[in-house]
Structure 1
Amino acid sequence: MDSTPSSSTEHHKRLEYCTTRLPYRQGRELKAVKVYTVASESKHLLVFGVPKIQLQGNLKNKLQQFVELEAFTDVFAVKFDRVEVARRAKRQMDAKQFYGGILHISYAPERETLQELREKLTQRRSEVSYRLSRNLTETKQKEEEEQASTAKKCK
């Protein structure tokens, strides 16, 4: 088997922390800067870095509130019901200590079915259209309030 990583698994590698960000952008903890598109986020997560000391039960208990686990050797595949829940679990558990090891959690969009991808893109489209219509309504309300206050000042 070839030892060079394929492009399909390249996104599972842990990135180095960014140390060149401006101080006001840095935040309290160093972060690896990575941009996720709608297609690259996923309901599926891969959990790397679980020590091989029979911790499947402990990890399952930790993730039990989210979903059922599918176990591999030292990598676990997790499928969530919604992308938002997967996003929250990744944010809370990535780069955290777990029984002497550091967990690395990455999205696994390659495990999605075509139907899941369609649902994800449709969901995103509806979220964006909702936000646009809400922002348009708020903008109109602000303009009407400004016109009303200007009219009162002119009287």
Structure 2
Amino acid sequence: MTWITEHPALAWLAVALVLAAVEVATFDLIFIMLAVGALAGALVAGLGAPFVLQVLAAVAVALLLIGLLRPALVRRLHQGPDTITGTAALVGREARVLETVTETGGRIKLRGEVWSARTDGRTRPDTILPGQPVRVVSIEGATAVVTAAGREPERS
């Protein structure tokens, strides 16, 4: 215990390291703010201030960081890129009809994979022939709901 009273700045640095290690394990940006507060306590201790001022400096810096900086950092971290994945990424894509698509069924090639498909029932034509392009309107289970897209394929 006498070591802590003789070397308060080192004690604050040790606390800061422990808090930083906890932050690495949790990554919720609370413990890193507390660690920076502990570094402020170490700085004040290094200047020879009494223990009460060291604690006040550590608490004040930690609270300021948690209240002002952390919300902006969390917002930025959670914002991330607007990446659409899974079946939602297929909506709007163009595909090619493999087997005639009607309101009840058919097959398309979508991004290199064969999918069961059906028309959405609202668009004309009701039947889309093989070779024609379609656009995916939605995905219902393992079935792509499609509508005709583009012009008719050229006949040779």
User: TM-score of the superposition, structure 2-length normalised?
Assistant: 0.29
Greater Cα radius of gyration, structure 1 or 2:
2
For CA contacts below 8 A with separation 6 or more, give which structure has more relative contact order. Answer: 1
User: TM-score of the superposition, structure 1-length normalised?
Assistant: 0.29
Higher-strand-fraction structure: 2
